[in-house]
Amino acid sequence: MQATIDNKYQIDLSKPLDISIPLTNNEQNPIAWYQDVPEIEPVKMGDWIGKVSQGKSSTNFNNIFFNPHAHGTHTECLGHITHDFYSINKCLQKFFFTAEVISVQPESINEDLVITKSQIESALKNKETEAIIIRTLPNFESKKSKKYSNTNPPYLEESAAIYIRELGIQHLLIDLPSVDKEHDEGKLLAHKAFWNVKDVAVLKDDARMNCTITELIYVSDIILDGSYILNLQIASFENDASPSKPILYRIE
């Protein structure tokens, strides 16, 4: 099934490339930020259990407890770091974007692994795009179930986030639990740089209200570096972040 995006790009909707990580209630689920495994359990009311296989319900009827930031692929808006409430459901109003997939091996700097401005600059090769998708190397499948808490994962240096912002890129996707260092004393330098937020209590007119960061994706090796169309799908949560399902389409 063919579709035309912005009267310019042809894509085949029957060939999606899913770069999200599914949410599960077992040890295969990735976990960050010192949380436990997500809970997916049938509702229990007296002797009634919302599970067809247990013979007391005609439907499966589960409660789900999870944290968007800690338990899988999620998309967040600048409301993630501001005093005032801003909802991802309000901030993200468009869902198809041009996108560049790049692969970067973080550099060792002062015992950290850091994605630098020069690496982003070299990988993008001056291409104009609305979204950037960063795959870190090595690209082990264990990312899909990794326990990130207290492991000091790689992160994006502030100057790299500024560079991405100055290019006009609106959507930043990365296969890490955060664009910032795990223990950074609450500085959140890359988040603030990307959203152009200096004072979390008072936003200026140039704060990037409609721009998003998506974390904990997984970009399979079958997806080559290059240009794609991104469909960034979220659930309609009135929250700073939502679980999300970013889908790539090759440009025909």
Q: Is residue 58 part of a domain?
A: no
Query: What's the CATH number where 124 sits?
Result: 3.50.30.50
98-131: per-residue pLDDT in tens? 999 999 999 999 999 999 999 999 999 989 999 9
Q: Is residue 36 part of a domain?
A: no
Q: Is residue 83 part of a domain?
A: yes
How far apart are the two ends of the chain, measured CA to CA in Å? 12
Domain count, the chain: 1
Q: Is residue 234 part of a domain?
A: yes
What is the DSSP secondary-structure string of 10-79? Answer: EEETTS-EE------SSTTS-B-TT----EEEE-EETTEES-GGGTS-SS--EEEE--TTTSS-EEE-GG
- Alpha-carbon span 44 to 134, nearest angstrom: 42
Q: Full-prediction pTM beyond 0.85?
A: yes
Instruction: Give the model's pLDDT for residue 1.
Output: 81
Amino acid identity at 104: V
Q: Is residue 44 part of a domain?
A: no
Q: Cis before residue 30, ω within 30 degrees of 0? A: no
For the chain, 252 residues long, give each residue's pLDDT as a single digit of tens. 888 988 899 999 999 999 999 999 999 999 999 999 999 999 999 999 999 999 789 999 999 999 999 999 999 999 999 999 999 999 999 999 999 999 999 999 999 999 999 999 999 998 999 999 999 999 999 999 999 999 999 999 999 999 999 999 999 999 999 999 999 999 999 999 999 999 999 999 999 999 999 999 999 999 999 999 999 999 999 999 999 999 999 999
What is the DSSP secondary-structure string of 115-155? Answer: E-HHHHHHHHTT---SEEEEEESS--GGGGG-B-TTS---E
Q: Is residue 30 part of a domain?
A: no
Work out the angle at residue 233's Cα, subtended by the Cα atoms of residues 126 and 79, and round it to the nearest 5 degrees: 80
Q: Is residue 124 part of a domain?
A: yes
Q: Is residue 119 part of a domain?
A: yes
Residue 131: give the domain boundaries: 2-22+69-250
Instruction: Give the model's pLDDT for residue 56.
Output: 80
